Amino acid sequence: MVDDPRRIKISDFPKDGNLKSQIEFVLRYAILAPSTHNSQPWLFKIESPECYIYYDPKLVLLEADPKTRDLYISIGCALENLILAATYFNIFDFVGYGPFQNKYHLATVRFKDYTGAGGEKNDLILGTITKRINARGLFSAETVPLNVINSVSSLAQEYSTHGINVHWVTDKKEVLELASLTAEGLKSAYHRSSFRKEMSRWMHNSLTNSKDGLPGYALRMPLLVSFVLPILIKWFDLGWLLSKLNYKSLSSAPLVTIITATNNDTSTWLKVGRLAERIMLEFNSLNWRTSIFVAAIEMGDFHKEVQKIIDTDQLPQFLFVVGKVDMLHKSTPRYELHKKLIS
């Protein structure tokens, strides 16, 4: 058993082990994916040569994610990590998205025997998976070079055939408009007592031993505030304050990335998650930090205003920003892999 799930050494890959042990190894990268409220909604069942990926119905966020879109996107992020790791070790064969008889079954990944022949050798991306965080706070004024954006854009080309596209927003006026929509989305969410009650269950103090949720340090809270804020949020509408903080953060970012899609179904959401994770990892590998903001997409009809800003008829599915930050908080906690394996 690994005490810290992020301590993964490429050299520890069990080359001489059976396929099941090799699948378990690459799954350790999958569980490091981002998820809404750090809920980690994935479950894995290994039946060599396949791994079945499910979601845990107990971890559906009825208030923050009523359509379950973000749940599917989160699992798509985990799926991308899994495929990247399996491709690296040349054991990835195929991924299927269903539909499956079991409604909680979202994807099946098929693996092949390890032959020793190297697959895509990208130590940097695998190392980035173990270090990636959702950066919080203010971004510096340093702009993302156009050649970097163009390079990362190439990762989205294969998804365009599925009606999934990426929009890059650098115009300051448009960034501010998106920040305002995000703030308004958060205000509308925190105005609901049911949302606040759900949110408070996922917010923890900075000294927490919990393996999921959002510790205060991940939200850039002072230590003492991290003990009080979850209680205050449950009983009082602090949306005006939290929306102001999120507005400042998003509006300071030099680049907003929005993923849109023609379709709005579960397989599309999984693919959006895969693409989002791949793009975020690429930026992180180049020392550009990313931070996720979905309130303008998930809450009310604000997504219609997002469509106007980026001039598209496609539905906005995911939004994150890219930039440089002076200080990084430590990584959010994770359950060990064995807690997410089912028989």
Cβ atoms 54, 27 nearer than 8 A: no
Domain ranges of the chain: 10-133+334-340, 146-191+237-323
Q: Residues with Cβ < 8 Å from 298, sequence gap 6 or more?
A: 64, 65, 66, 67, 69, 70, 185
Q: Which CATH number fits domain 146-191+237-323: 3.40.109.10, 2.30.30.110, 2.40.128.50, 3.30.465.10?
A: 3.40.109.10
Buried b (16+ CB within 10 A) or exposed e, 133-142: bbbbbbbeee
Q: What is the pLDDT of residue 327?
A: 84
Q: In terms of CATH architecture, what is 10-133+334-340?
A: 3-Layer(aba) Sandwich (3.40)
Cα 302 to Cα 230: distance, rounded to the nearest angstrom: 26
Q: What is the pLDDT of residue 1?
A: 43
Q: pLDDT by residue (tens digit) across 44-91? A: 999 999 999 999 999 999 999 999 999 999 999 999 999 999 999 999
Q: Residues with Cβ < 8 Å from 110, sequence gap 6 or more?
A: 49, 50, 93, 94, 95, 96
Assess whether the region 10-133+334-340 and the region 146-191+237-323 belong to the same CATH fold.
yes
**163: how many CB neighbours lie within 10 A of its CB?**
14
pLDDT at residue 94 is higher than 80: yes
Q: pLDDT by residue (tens digit) across 324-342? A: 998 888 899 999 999 999 9
Q: At what angle do helices 123-131 and 69-88 cross, to 10 degrees?
A: 140
Please tell me the pTM assigned to this model.
Answer: 0.96
Please state the rounded mean pLDDT for residues 159-170. 96
pLDDT at residue 2 is higher than 60: no
Q: pLDDT by residue (tens digit) across 104-146? A: 999 999 999 999 866 566 789 999 999 999 999 999 999 999 9
Cα 320 to Cα 279: distance, rounded to the nearest angstrom: 10
Q: pLDDT by residue (tens digit) across 302-325? A: 999 999 999 999 999 999 999 999
